[in-house]
Every structure is written in structure tokens, then in C-alpha cells.
Amino acid sequence: MSETSGHVGASEHVNAARPRDARPHTTDAGRPVRSQALLDALRTTVVIADGAMGTMLQEHNPTLDDYQQLEGCNEILNVSRPDIIAAIHDVYLETGIDAVETNTFGANWSNLSDYDIEDRIEELARTGAEIARARVEAFEARDGRVRWVLGSMGPGTKLPSLGHTTYANLKSTFAEQALGLIRGGADAFLIETSQDLLQTKSAVNGCKQAIDETGVCLPIFVEVTVETTGTMLMGSEIGAALTALEPLGIDAIGLNCATGPTEMSEHLRHLSKFSHVPVICMPNAGLPQLTKTGASYPLTPEQLATAHEQFVKEFGLGLVGGCCGTTPAHMKAVVDRLRGTPVKARTLEVDPGVASLYQHVSFDQDSAFLAIGERTNANGSRAFRDAMLAENWDDCVDIARARCATGPICSMCASTTSDATVWLT
Ligand SMILES: [Zn+2]
């Protein structure tokens, strides 16, 4: 931890952290026992997570020195002002929640490279997890009740589907973040506020890379963000997200941010019906209303508790929490309403299909056979391969259009590696 801190209480939080190289107790599969307990809880008793971090940070009014002259870089506070981060975790833990999120939302390449400190991804992720781990263990020591650390992984601002960066760069740098979260003592990865499925995929596979490197198999939770338009920022419907992400072997899927619970309802209904893994939800405190002093969130603590109570009953959620605009008072209301609530069993429907970036298409067949266009395949069509290698995208699209006219599904292969195989419909 940095010597620049010097704030009363900081060393206490640091010293309580687990030894850097201590490996967690694991099951035979390399799954830490604590993480397995979290996974079990998601299927039996509703887990309650914390609320917003950003607004709480602002209330502590960090100085430019606290930010080490990197104004707005919240993750630097993990080393410069761990006492602030610890105090925020404490306020949430006092409400009786079961899990805290680490202050590592922006401990990624996209955010840290804006400050020219992308070489500190692992460090800032690790220190964020260490602070949360220490506070969780302090509360556990009081009453023996297990609490969990969710390693927050935000999307960053550079979207691979828009060509802002490459999948490979994101995957390898998310792996650094995941490595830090493992070393700092997180119990699960929480890939959240996902806007672009290719970015989400890079984060999931980055986590898997870190798991392979360490042998510590943390669960991977994913939350996508569906805008008021009804799709993710890149235009993906919830069905496309589920179809694209579930086969990657994630351990929970859900929604967070952008809207309040009301707007999330129909998307949660879809996940509740079709997701084989637990469904989770961390809404904002309603749709933000712009005021002269900034965004204001209209949902009261009781209203958030009522929404979550309804979701838990109707959709069988395994974990609930809060995003922008939610406060300790909100989480206290949720705890009072839902603490110890059993997870309602869901009746799953099976709908095999494929997804493009935009939508899920079921393998329904009205006619005798399902036509899958194969011409847009770099291995099967010389015309397509030549056009692709020449970066003649208009020709590629023309070939795809011609295929799409013949059937509902068009298989596209742009590489010989399966990693880059995508389905277009
Ligand atoms: Zn949010």
C-alpha cells in the first residue's frame, strides 16, 4: 500500500488484509470454498449486494492530491486513500448486505490508459480487492456470517465492435485485472455495465485466462446494460446477450445500470425463462432526472425494496443490489425486506438458437429443412476470402446479403480460429 496515504485508519485496513500470496481453500475443482458457498447461495437464498460507489466517493470529497493529480481516476484511491474506500464498504456492510463490490470498475486498460497508467491495472485491481476483503473479514469476525467480495469489472469506454480497440488487447488486459482481483481475494468476478457483447466476451475470456494462470477458479458473473431503447448500446436484445454469453460458461447473468427496475422487468422475464444460470439484478434508483445540480434518482429505498421483492417472487432472482443513485438507505430497505428469502425455483423453457450481435434466432423450422447460408466463409468461398483479405467490405456485405435472401441463418467465418467465428442472422 502506498506511503502517500498517511491517513488515520488506513494502515489498520491494510494490515487486516490477507497475506498477498495466501491461496484460498479450494475444492477439488480449484474453486475456492468461499466462492462455492456464494454459488450455492445464489440458488438457495437471495444474496444482497451493495449499492453505488461513485456517489459515495464524491461525498468524501477526495482532493487532487488524493487522486495523485489524476483527477477522476477513482481506482487510484485504492492506494492513496484506502481509508475512504474501506469506510464506504463499512457503511454498506453495516446495513446487513451479503456482498460488496470492489472499487475496481475502471481498473482496466481503457480507463487507466486515459491517465497513462495502464501499467497499473493489476496493482489497482489487487489493492481494491484487498480493501474489500479486509472489511468483509472484519464484519465476519463480529458475527460469523459469511460475506462476499465481488470483483467489479466495468466495460471501459472503448468498444471493440466499433473498432475503438481490438478484442485481443481487451482480453489480455482484462486478464491482468482479473489476476489482480484473484490475488486481492475477490470471491467472484462481476463483469458489469456491459454494452458491447464483444467487449463482454473479451472480459469473460480474460477472466478465464487468469483462472488458468492461477488455478483459482472464481465464478464469473455478467451483467449487461439495457438502455431505455430496449437494447444494449450496440443494439443487442437481451435474447442475443443470453445466447452469446451463456455458452461461455458464465455462472450468473443479469442486468445493471442505465435504468431503474421498471424498465428492466421484461428483460429479466426473458432471463428468468431461459437462463440456465442464476439471474441477478442491480438497477439504478430509477431513471435519472436531470437537475441543475446534476442527475437525480427518483426511486426511494422502499420503492427499490418493493421492486426487488416483486422480481425475486416473479423471476427467481439469486442476487439483488443497486447501481447508480442507490445508497446505504436503499440497501438497508432491501435487506429489511428480503434478508433470508429463499430463491424461487424457475421453470425453464428450452429455446435452442443462434445469435447475431442484435438478436436471438430460434432453430424453428417451418419448412422441411433449416437453410444456413455458408458462402460467407473464408475457408469455403474463395470470393469471400479474397474480398475479405482485400478489405473490400462492400463485396463481403453483398455476398452476405445474397445469402441472407435464401434462408434465415447465414454462417460467417472470417478466420481459421474458432475464437473469431461469429454468427450473423
Ligand atoms: Zn449505474
- Whether residue 116 sits in one domain with residue 25: yes
d(CA 9, ligand 1 centre) in Å: 29
Q: Which three cell numbers stand for residue 327?
A: 445508497
- Whether residue 268 sits in one domain with residue 390: no
- Whether residue 404 sits in one domain with residue 322: no
Closest CA to 68 of 119, 127, 5: 5
Q: Which three cell numbers stand for residue 267?
A: 428483460
Q: Which three cell numbers stand for residue 341?
A: 428469502
| Angle between helix 82-94 and 328-338 (nearest 10) | 30
- Whether residue 320 sits in one domain with residue 191: yes
The one-letter amino acid at 395: D
Ramachandran bin of 267, using left for φ above 0, alpha for ψ from -120 to 50, beta for the remaining angles: alpha
d(CA 283, ligand 1 centre) in Å: 7
Q: Structural domain tally of the chain?
A: 2
d(CA 391, ligand 1 centre) in Å: 38
Q: Mapping DSSP to helix (H, G, I), strand (E, B) and coil, where does residue 101 land?
A: strand
- The CA-atom distances, in angstroms, between 157 and each of 58, 105, 124 are 21, 12, 18
* Any domain includes 411: yes
- The CA-atom distances, in angstroms, between 44 and each of 33, 149, 254, 333 are 16, 19, 17, 21
- Whether residue 16 sits in one domain with residue 132: yes
d(CA 105, ligand 1 centre) in Å: 11
- Which pLDDT does position 169 carry in this prediction? 98
* Any domain includes 1: no
Q: Which three cell numbers stand for residue 60?
A: 468524501
d(CA 14, ligand 1 centre) in Å: 28
- Which pLDDT does position 22 carry in this prediction? 53
d(CA 2, ligand 1 centre) in Å: 29
Q: Which three cell numbers stand for residue 416?
A: 481459421
- Which pLDDT does position 4 carry in this prediction? 37
Q: Can you give the CATH number for the domain in which 220 is found?
A: 3.20.20.330
- Which pLDDT does position 18 carry in this prediction? 45
- Which pLDDT does position 424 carry in this prediction? 42
∠93-97-102 over CA atoms, to 5°? Answer: 65
Q: Report H helices in 278-392.
A: 301-315, 328-338, 382-389
- Whether residue 19 sits in one domain with residue 160: yes
d(CA 402, ligand 1 centre) in Å: 41
Cβ contacts of residue 419 below 8 Å, gap of 6+?
A: none
* Any domain includes 177: yes
Compute, in degrees rounded to 10, the torsion defined by CA atoms 99, 182, 111, 131: 50
d(CA 52, ligand 1 centre) in Å: 7
d(CA 253, CA 250): 7
∠218-223-229 over CA atoms, to 5°? Answer: 170
* Any domain includes 314: yes
Ramachandran bin of 341, using left for φ above 0, alpha for ψ from -120 to 50, beta for the remaining angles: beta
d(CA 372, CA 388): 20
d(CA 321, CA 303): 13
Cβ contacts of residue 319 below 8 Å, gap of 6+?
A: 42, 46, 47, 48, 49, 99, 221, 252, 254, 278, 280, 281
Ion ligand 1 residues within 5 Å by Cβ: 257, 284, 323-324
- Whether residue 104 sits in one domain with residue 180: yes
- The CA-atom distances, in angstroms, between 141 and each of 145, 179, 326 are 8, 27, 27
d(CA 263, CA 164): 29
* Any domain includes 186: yes
d(CA 248, ligand 1 centre) in Å: 25
d(CA 82, ligand 1 centre) in Å: 22
The one-letter amino acid at 28: D
Last residue of one domain, picked from the residues 291, 322, 338? 338
d(CA 38, ligand 1 centre) in Å: 23
Element (H, E) at 199: helix 197-214
* Any domain includes 133: yes
d(CA 328, ligand 1 centre) in Å: 15
- Whether residue 174 sits in one domain with residue 70: yes
* Any domain includes 194: yes
Task: Look up the pTM and report it.
Answer: 0.85
| Beta carbons of 222 and 250 less than 8 angstroms apart | yes
- Whether residue 287 sits in one domain with residue 416: no
| Beta carbons of 312 and 320 less than 8 angstroms apart | yes
d(CA 288, ligand 1 centre) in Å: 10
d(CA 165, ligand 1 centre) in Å: 24
d(CA 245, ligand 1 centre) in Å: 21
- Whether residue 372 sits in one domain with residue 284: no
The one-letter amino acid at 325: G
Q: Which three cell numbers stand for residue 413?
A: 467465418
Cβ contacts of residue 301 below 8 Å, gap of 6+?
A: 327, 329, 330, 332, 333, 334
* Any domain includes 286: yes
- The CA-atom distances, in angstroms, between 285 and each of 10, 73, 292, 302 are 31, 24, 19, 11
d(CA 364, ligand 1 centre) in Å: 36
d(CA 289, ligand 1 centre) in Å: 14
d(CA 273, ligand 1 centre) in Å: 25
- Whether residue 322 sits in one domain with residue 380: no
- Domain range holding 56? 10-338
Last residue of one domain, picked from the residues 338, 354, 384? 338
Q: How would you write the pLDDT of the chain (425 residues) with one tens digit per residue?
A: 333 333 333 333 443 444 444 567 887 778 999 999 999 999 999 999 999 999 899 999 999 999 999 999 999 999 999 999 999 999 999 999 999 999 999 999 999 999 999 999 999 999 999 999 999 999 999 999 999 999 999 999 999 999 999 999 999 999 999 999 999 999 999 999 999 999 999 999 999 999 999 999 999 999 999 999 999 999 999 999 999 999 999 999 999 999 999 999 999 999 999 999 999 999 999 998 888 888 889 999 999 999 999 999 999 999 999 999 999 999 999 999 999 999 999 999 999 999 999 999 998 877 667 777 778 888 888 898 999 999 899 998 888 888 777 776 777 787 744 444 444 43
| Beta carbons of 257 and 193 less than 8 angstroms apart | yes
Ramachandran bin of 96, using left for φ above 0, alpha for ψ from -120 to 50, beta for the remaining angles: left
Q: Judging by DSSP bridges, how do beta strands 294-296 and 289-291 pair with one another? A: antiparallel
d(CA 218, ligand 1 centre) in Å: 24
Rg (CA), the chain: 22
- Whether residue 331 sits in one domain with residue 274: yes
d(CA 54, ligand 1 centre) in Å: 9
- Which pLDDT does position 139 carry in this prediction? 98
